[in-house]
């Protein structure tokens, strides 16, 4: 099946081809343990399925959730096939799916950690063991692969698994929820594609019972008497089970767990028309976006706290966790809220996380990946200081916990689904990407733009009927103008969308966004950013690197002077606009403290998009920089 929106874009087509031609083949080799490279963490994810299917000896290896790497890879393949058909890749996927089918147990159970071993321990440790999490990812893969190829094999596998879970938790009334949310959103997707209401019932059940018994994980630990990681079951915030979801006031705990849960909540709220659940989602959103999110759209400010949210305005730059998966999950949450409320503010953050943290997560060549995304990096300190053990100055080729790389692949390959959304007759343009959008058989909207480096977006309407169409007024564009057929025209604005009605065949809509580079300032309550500024141009957050400027410790940004944008080509980071920023260069000093302000002379700093950092010579990087 083709996507309703086909991308043909100077900025994004590169990444979508990269997924199909480099990332997915590379990740297949990694998951298949075919690459002999000491820098590549062993995966064993496919092999675990072979062992579970009785087709290989050897023991299970890897994380308890190692299956989810295979599931996310399959889901990514599905999206990629919709963008770039690839028989060889599809054949590989079909073989893995057949293997998964052979590994599945007669009762529908499907988790290699508990098939290849520990069979007696199934369902006894929901807090740590990720059985429902892995089920959720495989369900998403089954749904996506069916949508992409029409093939039902994986879909029926995951339905059998979902039916087992339904029997356990609904029919047999087993207590408990997933220690790592994910299945909730997956079940809504399964409901949407199959129409089987039991899956929505099950999703709603997991959301409704969550937090009704905060002691559940402590009780199951006592009952089973075993623990995988010795996770503290009293730390109920970490797994978002301290309160029923409708009573929670703040976004808390492990950031990926949180946004996966909130996404499932928002999708369920939409399907069940649940105002209290919608209100809970909006509360979580406000907590994140107004108090606990980095400028880059990254979330989860502490490694020590457990890749987790901490407290309002605690947003340290160098020790930031800001996991790539958490930014991807925030995009899921934003997309679900967008479809629930049709408010452009959700698309603003979706775009922010996409163009910055998500893109920063992958090396330009597609074979290295960041797990954590700090806003300041100093290789002299990274790995050498406590609190910086989780940070990297260069993207590793793989990770022992490899959740991020396939998550990158599935998001970039499915980007087509994020550019537009619909509400009845209204077509919402959320992301500005060149391509062809076919909401129905009669209509095609062709978008042309050089966004995010060129603020002009042109829509050509081809339709046998009148259409209504809403363009997002990006929060990253201070001044935006809209014209239809060359003449700016009156429009209705709602939820930060410009609503254009009665457009007909041949109409052209032109939108001009203001992408002038601008300094950004954090709320003074954010201690980490006191006295500092950052720079954005449109949705792009910029950063400074040693390789463009020399030792960053010598510089501050000047309070005066204009920032100039220069378009460059550099194969290591692609075609980008770099920024020339008025700055001060400090004279070297041997003294630690001085009565005088550091002596400085005027200088110019070069800034590159944050997503591009770490692709060239390794050195210091700063997003927030002293404004002097």
Cβ 128 to a copy of itself, closest distance in Å? 20
CB closer to a copy of itself, 163 vs 343: 343
DSSP 124: S
Residues 388-417 that bind a copy of itself (CB under 8 A): none
* Segment (H or E) for 139: helix 131-149
Cβ 532 to a copy of itself, closest distance in Å? 6
Cross-sheet strand order for the sheet of 481-484: 5-7, 435-440, 443-449, 456-463, 508-512, 481-484, 487-488
**Binding residue for a copy of itself (CB under 8 A) from 25, 396, 550, 598?**
598
Using an 8 Å Cβ cutoff, are 413 and 18 in contact?
A: no
**Binding residue for a copy of itself (CB under 8 A) from 290, 481, 485, 502?**
290
Phi, psi (rounded to 5 degrees) for 337:
-70, -35
**Binding residue for a copy of itself (CB under 8 A) from 376, 408, 430, 545?**
376
**Segment contacting a copy of itself by CB under 8 A, of 49-57, 322-330, 482-490, 520-528:** 520-528
DSSP 293: B
Asked about 153 being catalytic, the answer comes back as no
Using an 8 Å Cβ cutoff, are 578 and 610 in contact?
A: no
Radius of gyration of the chain (CA): 24
Angstrom distance (rounded) from CA 118 to CA 589: 62
Angstrom distance (rounded) from CA 125 to CA 111: 13
Rule CB under 8 A: say whether 291 interacts with a copy of itself: yes
**Binding residue for a copy of itself (CB under 8 A) from 524, 561, 568, 572?**
524
Q: Which of 90, 140, 182, 307 is catalytic?
A: 307
Q: By C-alpha distance, which of 493, 526, 488, 514 is closest to 623?
A: 526
**Binding residue for a copy of itself (CB under 8 A) from 149, 302, 434, 443?**
302
The separation between CA 334 and the C-alpha centre of its own chain, rounded to angstroms, equals 10
Cβ 46 to a copy of itself, closest distance in Å? 36
The total of other beta-carbon atoms located within 10 Å of residue 62's CB is 20
CB closer to a copy of itself, 487 vs 596: 596
CB closer to a copy of itself, 92 vs 532: 532
Q: By C-alpha distance, which of 164, 167, 140 is closest to 154?
A: 140
Q: Find out whether the peptide bond into 452 is cis, omega within 30 degrees of 0.
A: yes
Rule CB under 8 A: say whether 553 interacts with a copy of itself: yes
CB closer to a copy of itself, 91 vs 599: 599
Contacts of 384 (CB under 8 A, 6+ apart): none
CB closer to a copy of itself, 28 vs 392: 392
CB closer to a copy of itself, 14 vs 521: 521
Q: Return the beta strands (E) in 32-73 as ranges.
A: none
* Segment (H or E) for 7: strand 5-7
Rule CB under 8 A: say whether 595 interacts with a copy of itself: yes
**Binding residue for a copy of itself (CB under 8 A) from 174, 527, 564, 572?**
527
The total of other beta-carbon atoms located within 10 Å of residue 113's CB is 24
Binding mask 454-493 for a copy of itself (x = CB under 8 A): ------------------------x---------------
CB closer to a copy of itself, 339 vs 343: 343
Using an 8 Å Cβ cutoff, are 92 and 70 in contact?
A: no
* DSSP-derived 3-state class of residue 97: helix
Binding mask 554-583 for a copy of itself (x = CB under 8 A): x-x---------------------------
**Segment contacting a copy of itself by CB under 8 A, of 119-127, 301-309, 398-406, 423-431:** 301-309
Cβ 574 to a copy of itself, closest distance in Å? 26
**Segment contacting a copy of itself by CB under 8 A, of 33-41, 237-245, 360-368, 529-537:** 529-537
Q: By C-alpha distance, which of 333, 337, 378 is closest to 353?
A: 333
**Binding residue for a copy of itself (CB under 8 A) from 203, 509, 522, 540?**
522
Cβ 518 to a copy of itself, closest distance in Å? 5
**Segment contacting a copy of itself by CB under 8 A, of 5-13, 90-98, 306-314, 321-329:** 306-314
Angstrom distance (rounded) from CA 372 to CA 621: 14
Give buried/exposed letters for 273-302 (b at 16+ CB in 10 A, else e).
ebeebbebbbbbbebbbebbbbbbbbbbbb
**Segment contacting a copy of itself by CB under 8 A, of 9-17, 228-236, 426-434, 591-599:** 591-599
Cβ 381 to a copy of itself, closest distance in Å? 6
Using an 8 Å Cβ cutoff, are 523 and 532 in contact?
A: no
Q: By C-alpha distance, which of 333, 344, 337 is closest to 494?
A: 344
Binding mask 326-365 for a copy of itself (x = CB under 8 A): ----------------------------------------
CB closer to a copy of itself, 94 vs 627: 627
Angstrom distance (rounded) from CA 300 to CA 162: 30
Cβ 378 to a copy of itself, closest distance in Å? 7
Binding mask 79-108 for a copy of itself (x = CB under 8 A): ------------------------------
Asked about 617 being catalytic, the answer comes back as no
Handedness of CA 327, 328, 334, 338 (dihedral sign): positive
Handedness of CA 56, 61, 62, 64 (dihedral sign): positive
**Binding residue for a copy of itself (CB under 8 A) from 39, 57, 590, 601?**
590
Q: Which of 403, 404, 543, 547 is catalytic?
A: 403
Rule CB under 8 A: say whether 249 interacts with a copy of itself: no
Within the chain, what is the greatest distance between any pair of CA atoms?
77
Angstrom distance (rounded) from CA 285 to CA 65: 27
Cβ 264 to a copy of itself, closest distance in Å? 25
Rule CB under 8 A: say whether 61 interacts with a copy of itself: no
Cβ 580 to a copy of itself, closest distance in Å? 20
Place of tokens 């108090």: 291
Instruction: Kindly state the tokens that stand for 467.
Output: 């259409």
**Binding residue for a copy of itself (CB under 8 A) from 289, 484, 511, 581?**
289
CB closer to a copy of itself, 34 vs 290: 290
Angstrom distance (rounded) from CA 484 to CA 492: 14
CB closer to a copy of itself, 441 vs 595: 595
Site for a copy of itself, rule CB under 8 A: 289-291, 293, 295, 302, 304-305, 310-311, 313-314, 318-319, 376, 378, 380-381, 384-387, 478, 518-527, 530-533, 553-554, 556, 586, 589-598, 625-628
Residue numbers annotated as active site: 307, 403
């Amino acid at each position: 099946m083709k996507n309703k929106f086909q991308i043909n874009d100077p900025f994004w087509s590169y990444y979508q081809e990269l997924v199909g031609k480099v990332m997915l083949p590379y990740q297949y080799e990694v998951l298949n343990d075919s690459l002999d490279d000491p820098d590549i963490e062993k995966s064993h994810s496919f092999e675990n399925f072979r062992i579970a299917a009785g087709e290989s000896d050897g023991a299970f290896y890897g994380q308890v959730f190692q299956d989810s790497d295979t599931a996310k890879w399959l889901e990514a393949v599905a999206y990629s096939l919709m963008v770039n058909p690839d028989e060889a890749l599809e054949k590989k996927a079909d073989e893995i799916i057949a293997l998964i089918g052979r590994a599945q147990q007669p009762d529908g159970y499907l988790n290699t950690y508990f098939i290849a071993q520990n069979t007696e321990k199934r369902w006894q440790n929901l807090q740590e063991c990720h059985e429902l999490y892995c089920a959720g990812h495989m369900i998403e893969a089954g749904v996506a692969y069916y949508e992409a190829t029409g093939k039902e094999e994986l879909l029926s596998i995951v339905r059998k698994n979902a039916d087992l879970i339904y029997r356990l938790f609904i029919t047999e009334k087993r207590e408990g929820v997933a220690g790592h949310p994910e299945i909730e959103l997956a079940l809504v997707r399964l409901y949407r594609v199959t129409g089987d209401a039991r899956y929505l019932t099950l999703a709603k059940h997991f959301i409704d019972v969550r937090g009704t018994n905060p002691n559940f994980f402590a009780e199951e630990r006592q009952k089973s008497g075993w623990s995988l990681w010795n996770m503290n079951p009293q730390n109920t915030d970490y797994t978002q089970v301290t309160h029923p979801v409708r009573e929670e006031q703040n976004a808390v705990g492990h950031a990926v767990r949180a946004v996966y849960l909130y996404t499932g909540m928002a999708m369920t709220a939409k399907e069940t028309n649940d105002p209290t659940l919608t209100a809970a989602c909006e509360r979580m959103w406000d907590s994140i976006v107004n108090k606990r999110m980095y400028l880059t759209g990254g979330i989860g400010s502490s490694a020590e706290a457990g890749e987790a949210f901490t407290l309002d305005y605690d947003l340290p730059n160098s020790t930031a966790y800001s996991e790539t998966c958490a930014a991807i999950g925030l995009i899921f949450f934003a997309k679900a809220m967008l479809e629930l409320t049709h408010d452009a503010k959700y698309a603003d953050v979706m775009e922010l996380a996409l163009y910055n943290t998500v893109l920063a997560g992958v090396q330009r060549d597609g074979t290295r990946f960041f797990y954590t995304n700090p806003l300041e990096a100093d290789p002299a300190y990274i790995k050498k200081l406590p609190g910086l053990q989780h940070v990297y100055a260069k993207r590793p080729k793989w990770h022992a916990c490899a959740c991020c790389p396939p998550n990158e692949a599935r998001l970039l390959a499915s980007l087509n689904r994020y550019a537009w959304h619909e509400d009845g007759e209204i077509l919402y343009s959320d992301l500005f990407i060149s391509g062809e959008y076919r909401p129905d058989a009669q209509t095609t909207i062709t978008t042309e733009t050089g966004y995010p480096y060129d603020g002009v977006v042109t829509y050509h309407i081809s339709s046998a009927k009148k259409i209504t169409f809403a363009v997002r007024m990006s929060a990253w564009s201070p001044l935006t103008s809209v014209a239809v057929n060359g003449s700016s025209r009156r429009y209705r604005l709602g939820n930060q969308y410009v609503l254009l009605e009665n457009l007909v065949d041949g109409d052209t809509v032109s939108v001009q966004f203001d992408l002038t580079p601008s300094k950004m300032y954090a709320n003074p309550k954010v201690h980490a950013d006191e006295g500092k500024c950052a720079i954005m141009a449109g949705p792009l957050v910029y950063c400074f690197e040693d390789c463009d400027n020399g030792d960053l410790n010598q510089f501050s940004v000047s309070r005066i002077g204009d920032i100039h944008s220069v378009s460059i080509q550099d194969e290591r980071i692609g075609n980008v606009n770099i920024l020339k920023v008025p700055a001060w260069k400090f004279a070297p000093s041997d003294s630690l403290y001085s009565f005088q302000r550091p002596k400085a002379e005027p200088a110019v700093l070069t800034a590159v998009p944050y997503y591009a950092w770490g692709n060239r010579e390794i050195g210091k990087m700063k997003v927030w920089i002293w404004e002097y």
